[in-house]
């Protein structure tokens, strides 16, 4: 009973202490709010009333009066950029960059934010200028990464190569893959303009950076073929099997037509069938099927697809089998087979796409660089149905 009485006496004391603490917190909040510039409170009021332009003016005035509110600028600018209001974000960050009394660290941060604003707005020339000003600062790595992205968007491959060489993590596998593709882009441009010596130099540079570059071997074969060296072209394309066998489908048609050009069509078909046996691929099957059809007729092509379908059952393979079946079926059944093929073909359209390993982007066309995430060689020439069948 004495303990219960003691607690009854303690309760009022606890309430008194809580009341005093609340009073102290309230006074602290009031004191802090009074120390803020009036323009800061006006800016918040404009922002809540959906008057962002007036809010920006008020916040700029707040920063002029009290430099401690600079962080508010950064937060607000980032908010505007995320909402797509890049003009307002640019205005806020440009004001900070232009201030004479801003510290070096904050000015550098403001310049980086301004560069991101320009990049978001698609003003690549201004973004480039902003990030170039960051070279040699504490944000040099960030500047290099953004400059590399800008030059890739502009397809300025010489500058992209220059920036890539300055990256801190150069010599990594990712770096070698990107650098090789930059050189290959230059090689493709040179070939389009019939500057074959320049194209050869770019291919050699790509292979020097990344000896496993499939794309460089593909272009090297094209250059050999252009120089009337078909045997060398075939040798260059054959190397792709050791580099990355998934990309053999990209050169299968080249290998076959080059063998036909030098009157060695059976050897070419034999090579492609060996590739297909070791590395099953729907695109490779399509090329072998067409070659078999030309050389040995519909029955041999039908047998080839039927055997491959047993080994790797796919809808796309079934579609190809029905195509061959139309040619070999009796005349009275061809209409029925064609009807079945049309039905299957309507379903295969959904699985006849390429997919990026990095972001999952799907497309009917093959890309060396993913249009969605910008990754190089992240979309191997494999149809989505093949992914579903992979163990």
Task: Decide if pLDDT at 301 tops 90.
Answer: no
Instruction: Give the other-Cβ count within 10 Å of 270's Cβ.
Output: 12
Task: For residue 349, count other CB atoms closer than 10 A to its CB.
Answer: 11
**Residues 253-287: pLDDT tens digits?**
999 999 999 999 999 999 999 999 999 888 888 89
* Mean pLDDT (whole number) for 174-196: 94
pTM score: 0.75
The binding site comprises: 356, 359, 370, 373
Determine the Cα–Cα distance for residues 278 and 289; give it in Å rounded to an integer: 16
- At 55 the pLDDT is 61
Backbone Cα Rg of the chain: 33
pLDDT band at 104 (very low <50, low <70, confident <90, very high): confident
For residues 236 and 370, the answer to whether their CB atoms sit within 8 Å is no
Question: Can you tell me the distance from the alpha carbon of 286 to that of 141, in angstroms, rounded to the nearest whole number?
Answer: 46
Is it the case that residue 328 has pLDDT exceeding 50?
yes
Q: What is the pLDDT of residue 339?
A: 67
What integer pLDDT is reported at residue 311 of this predicted model?
81
Exposed, middle or buried by CB within 10 Å (0-12, 13-18, 19+), for 326?
Answer: middle
pLDDT digits 0-9 by tens, 29-64: 334 444 455 545 555 555 555 565 666 666 655 555
pLDDT for the residue 312: 76
pLDDT value of residue 243: 95
Indicate the annotated binding residues for Fe cation.
Answer: 356, 359, 370, 373
Long-range contacts at 256-263 (CB < 8 A, ≥ 24 apart) = 256/287, 256/291, 258/225, 258/230, 258/233, 258/234, 259/234, 261/230, 262/230, 262/231
Look at residue 23 and tell me whether its pLDDT is greater than 80. no
One-character DSSP codes across 17-86: HHHHHHHHHHHHHHHHHHHS-HHHHHHHHHHHTT-HHHHHHHHHHHHHH-GGGHHHHHHHHHHHHHTT-H
Give the pLDDT score at 65.
46
Q: Report, as an integer, the average pLDDT of 111-124.
A: 90
Regarding predicted confidence, which is higher, 381 or 7? 381
Q: Is the pLDDT of residue 217 over 90?
A: yes
Beta carbons within 8 Å of 138's beta carbon, 6+ residues apart: 105, 108
Residue 28 confidence class, pLDDT cut points 50, 70, 90: very low
Work out the average pLDDT over 110-116: 90
Residue 282 C-alpha from the chain's centroid: 25
Cα gap 198→181, rounded to integer Å = 15
Residue in this structure with the two tokens 């072998």, named with its chain if needed: 288
Extended beta strands in 241-374, E state: 354-355, 362-363
Return the pLDDT at 102. Answer: 75
């Amino acid at each position: 009973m004495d303990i219960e009485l003691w607690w009854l006496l303690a309760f009022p004391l606890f309430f008194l202490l809580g009341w005093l603490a609340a009073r102290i917190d309230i006074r602290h909040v009031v004191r802090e709010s009074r120390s803020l510039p009036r323009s800061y409170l006006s800016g918040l009021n404009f922002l809540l009333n959906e008057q962002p332009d007036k809010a920006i003016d008020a916040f700029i005035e707040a920063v002029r009066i009290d430099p401690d509110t600079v962080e508010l600028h950064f937060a607000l600018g980032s908010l505007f950029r995320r909402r797509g209001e890049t003009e307002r974000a640019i205005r806020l960050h440009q004001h900070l960059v232009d201030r004479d009394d801003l510290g070096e660290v904050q000015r550098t941060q403001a310049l980086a934010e301004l560069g991101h604003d320009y990049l978001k707005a698609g003003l690549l020339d201004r973004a480039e200028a902003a990030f170039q000003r960051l070279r040699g600062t504490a944000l040099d790595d960030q500047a290099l990464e953004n400059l590399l992205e800008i030059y890739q968007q502009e397809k300025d491959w010489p500058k992209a190569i220059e920036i890539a060489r300055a990256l801190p993590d150069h010599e990594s596998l990712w770096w070698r893959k990107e650098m090789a593709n930059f050189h290959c882009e230059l090689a493709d441009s040179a070939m389009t303009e019939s500057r074959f010596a320049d194209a050869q130099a770019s291919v050699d540079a790509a292979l020097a950076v990344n000896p496993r570059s499939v794309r460089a071997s593909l272009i090297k074969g094209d250059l050999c073929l252009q120089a009337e060296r078909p045997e060398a072209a075939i040798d260059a394309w054959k190397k792709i099997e050791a580099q990355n066998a998934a990309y053999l489908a990209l050169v299968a048609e080249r290998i076959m037509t080059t063998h036909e050009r030098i009157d060695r069509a059976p050897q070419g078909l034999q090579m492609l069938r060996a590739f297909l046996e070791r590395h099953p691929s729907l695109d490779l099957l399509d090329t072998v099927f067409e070659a078999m059809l030309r050389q040995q007729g519909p029955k041999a092509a039908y047998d080839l697809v039927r055997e491959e379908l047993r080994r790797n059952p796919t809808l796309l393979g079934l579609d190809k089998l029905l195509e061959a079946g139309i040619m070999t079926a009796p005349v009275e059944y061809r209409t029925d087979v064609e009807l079945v093929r049309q039905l299957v073909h309507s379903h295969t359209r959904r699985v006849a796409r390429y997919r990026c390993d990095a972001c999952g982007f799907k497309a009917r066309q093959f890309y060396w660089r993913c249009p969605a995430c910008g990754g190089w060689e992240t979309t191997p020439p494999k149809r989505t149905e093949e992914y579903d069948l992979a163990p």
